[in-house]
C-alpha cells in the first residue's frame, strides 16, 4: 500500500477527533489504530499488545539490514473537556475532547508508519501508540510491564507534541531540556468543625490551608535559581459548606514544575516540610500526596538531538526553528531517561487558542509537513554511517 495521502491523513485525523477517550480507556481509539495499521498489509510488520496496559499498542517494522532499532512514540488519550469548536467532526463523546491535539500526533505517526510499511526501512522501527499521557503516566506503565525488551527494545526514541502558537507544519526543538517535569500535589488538612461564633471550640482547617497556600509561594521565589525557573500552583481549594460553620477539613490540588529533576525533588521536599509545619502550627492533621509518576523533564539527548537539528536545519522542505524550553509537562520525559532521543514541537497554527482549550482547532495543513519531516529524518538517520 502506498503512503497515506493528505486527504487520507485528514480523514484519519477527523475520525480520531470524534472518538476521544480518557487515559487507560482508549479501547475505541486502539481498535481504529489497529484497523488502519492492518490495512497496510505489510509483511515486515508485527503488532504487540501489553496485557498489563491493555490499550497500549506497539508496532515493529523489520529492517533490511538493521544496525539499531529506532523508536517513535505517539500518545493516544484525550482530556475531560467539553468541545466548543462547532466543527462538523467534533467529539462524539460527551465531556471528552482531543484538546491537546493527540489526534494530530497519532495521525502523523500513522503517516510515518505507512511510508515505511510501503518502503522497508534499513533499521528496525518501533512505533509506540501510548495510552495515558494526560494522566496515569502510560509510558512508565508500559516500560515497567517489560514491553521494551528483546526485539522490542529501542536504541533511541523520538516523538512530537503539537504547538498551536507555531506556524502550521513548523518543526521546533532545542538542545537540552524542552519541557518541564511535573509533580501532582494533593493535600487534605483535617481539623474540627464548629459554630462560627465559638472558634475556641473548633479547629479551623481553612485557616491552616490558607497558610499553606501562602507559604508554598515562597518555594520558587526563595529556593530555585531564578535563571532556571519553576512553578508551584495550587489550582483547587475545597472547604466548608456554609458561612457560619467553621470548616473541619480542606482539600487542595496543585502542581510542581521545573526544568531539572534535582529542582523538582527539592521543591517536593519543601512542600512536605511546609505541610508538616502547618500541621504542627495549626494543630491539624495533614494527608499529603506528591505524585510524579513518569512526568520527568523532557531532556533531549545531545548526540541524537544534534543529528536531528542538523537534518531539520538543512532539509529544504522543512520549516525549522530553535525554541526556548516550556513549562509544559509530558511523560515522554520518563522514556527519554531510559533511551536517548529527542522530542520536537509540530506547529499547528491556532494562536488564538492554547493547548487544553475547548476551542482548540489545529490546522490540518500541518499533517503532511509533519509526516515528511519525520520520514526524511528517519531515512537520513538510517543511512548515516555512524551508529
Asked whether this chain's domains 6-169+348-383 and 180-291 adopt the same fold, the reply is: no
**What is the per-residue pLDDT for 1?**
39
DSSP assigned state of 364:
G
Residue with cell 517536593: 268
The predicted-structure confidence for 85-109, as pLDDT tens digits, reads as follows 999 999 999 999 999 999 999 999 9
Gyration radius of the chain over CA positions: 23
In order of 36, 110, 241, 367, the CA distances from 8 in angstroms are: 11, 11, 53, 10
The predicted-structure confidence for 281-322, as pLDDT tens digits, reads as follows 999 999 999 999 999 999 999 999 999 999 999 999 999 999
Average pLDDT over residues 39-49: 97
Sheet of strand 156-163: strand arrangement: 45-49, 57-61, 124-130, 69-75, 156-163, 341-347, 171-173, 320-322
In order of 15, 102, 171, 330, the CA distances from 159 in angstroms are: 22, 12, 11, 11
Domain segments of the chain as ranges = 6-169+348-383, 180-291
Q: How far apart are CA 289 and CA 255, in angstroms?
A: 11
Q: pTM for this structure? A: 0.93
Confidence of residue 385 (pLDDT cuts 50, 70, 90): low
In order of 7, 9, 84, the CA distances from 365 in angstroms are: 10, 10, 21
**Is residue 121 over pLDDT 50?**
yes
**What is the per-residue pLDDT for 278?**
98
Which is more confident, 146 or 3?
146
Phi, psi values for residue 121, rounded to 5° = -75, 160
Q: How far apart are CA 228 and CA 18, in angstroms?
A: 39
Contacts of 227 (CB under 8 A, 6+ apart): none
Q: So what CATH class is 6-169+348-383?
A: alpha beta
Confidence of residue 3 (pLDDT cuts 50, 70, 90): confident
**What is the per-residue pLDDT for 386?**
62
Average pLDDT over residues 46-70: 98
Quote the mean pLDDT of the chain: 97
The predicted-structure confidence for 174-228, as pLDDT tens digits, reads as follows 999 999 999 999 999 999 999 999 999 999 999 999 999 999 999 999 999 999 9
Judging by DSSP bridges, how do beta strands 124-130 and 69-75 pair with one another? parallel
**Is residue 2 over pLDDT 70?**
no
180-291 topology per CATH: Alpha-Beta Plaits (3.30.70)
Known catalytic residues are 75, 134
Confidence of residue 264 (pLDDT cuts 50, 70, 90): very high
As a whole-number percent, the residues of the chain with pLDDT over 70 amount to: 99
**What is the per-residue pLDDT for 270?**
98
202 by Cβ neighbours in 10 Å (0-12 / 13-18 / 19+) ranks as: middle
Q: What is the helix (H) or strand (E) element at residue 291, kind and residue range? A: strand 285-291
Residue with cell 520518563: 334
Number of Cβ within a 10 Å radius of residue 65: 8
Confidence of residue 384 (pLDDT cuts 50, 70, 90): confident
Amino acid at each position: 500500500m502506498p503512503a497515506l495521502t493528505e486527504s487520507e491523513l485528514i480523514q484519519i485525523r477527523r475520525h480520531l477527533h470524534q472518538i476521544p477517550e480518557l487515559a487507560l480507556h482508549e479501547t475505541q481509539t486502539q481498535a481504529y489504530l489497529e484497523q488502519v495499521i492492518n490495512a497496510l498489509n505489510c509483511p515486515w510488520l508485527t503488532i504487540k499488545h501489553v496485557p498489563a496496559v491493555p490499550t497500549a499498542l506497539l508496532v515493529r517494522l523489520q529492517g533490511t539490514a538493521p544496525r539499531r532499532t529506532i523508536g517513535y512514540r505517539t500518545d493516544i488519550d484525550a482530556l475531560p473537556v467539553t468541545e466548543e469548536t462547532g466543527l462538523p467532526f467534533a467529539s462524539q463523546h460527551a465531556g471528552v475532547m482531543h484538546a491537546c491535539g493527540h489526534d494530530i500526533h497519532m495521525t502523523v505517526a500513522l503517516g510515518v508508519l505507512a511510508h515505511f510499511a510501503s518502503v522497508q526501512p534499513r533499521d528496525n522501527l518501533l512505533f509506540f501508540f501510548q495510552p495515558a499521557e494526560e494522566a496515569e503516566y502510560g509510558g512508565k506503565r508500559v516500560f515497567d510491564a517489560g514491553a521494551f525488551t528483546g526485539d522490542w527494545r529501542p536504541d533511541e526514541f523520538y516523538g512530537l507534541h503539537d504547538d498551536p502558537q507555531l506556524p502550521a507544519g513548523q518543526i521546533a526543538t532545542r538542545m537540552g531540556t524542552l519541557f518541564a517535569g511535573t509533580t501532582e500535589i494533593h493535600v487534605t488538612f483535617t481539623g474540627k468543625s464548629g459554630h462560627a461564633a465559638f472558634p475556641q471550640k473548633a479547629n479551623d482547617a481553612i485557616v491552616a490551608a490558607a497558610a499553606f497556600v501562602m507559604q508554598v509561594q515562597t518555594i520558587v521565589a526563595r529556593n530555585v535559581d531564578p535563571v532556571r525557573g519553576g512553578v508551584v500552583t495550587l489550582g483547587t481549594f475545597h472547604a466548608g459548606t456554609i458561612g457560619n460553620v467553621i470548616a473541619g477539613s480542606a482539600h487542595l490540588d496543585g502542581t510542581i514544575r521545573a526544568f531539572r529533576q534535582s529542582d523538582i525533588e527539592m521543591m517536593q521536599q519543601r512542600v512536605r516540610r511546609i505541610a508538616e509545619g502547618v500541621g504542627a502550627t495549626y494543630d491539624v492533621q495533614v494527608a499529603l500526596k506528591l505524585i510524579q509518576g513518569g512526568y520527568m523533564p523532557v531532556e533531549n539527548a545531545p548526540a541524537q538531538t544534534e543529528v536531528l537539528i542538523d537534518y531539520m536545519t538543512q532539509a529544504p522542505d522543512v520549516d525549522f526553528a530553535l525554541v526556548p524550553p516550556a513549562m509544559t509537562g509530558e511523560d515522554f520525559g520518563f522514556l527519554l531517561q531510559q533511551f536517548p532521543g529527542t522530542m520536537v514541537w509540530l506547529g499547528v497554527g491556532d494562536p488564538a487558542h492554547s493547548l487544553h482549550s475547548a476551542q482548540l482547532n489545529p490546522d490540518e495543513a500541518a499533517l503532511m509537513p509533519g509526516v515528511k519531516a519525520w520520514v526524511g529524518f528517519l531515512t537520513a538517520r538510517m543511512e548515516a554511517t555512524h551508529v
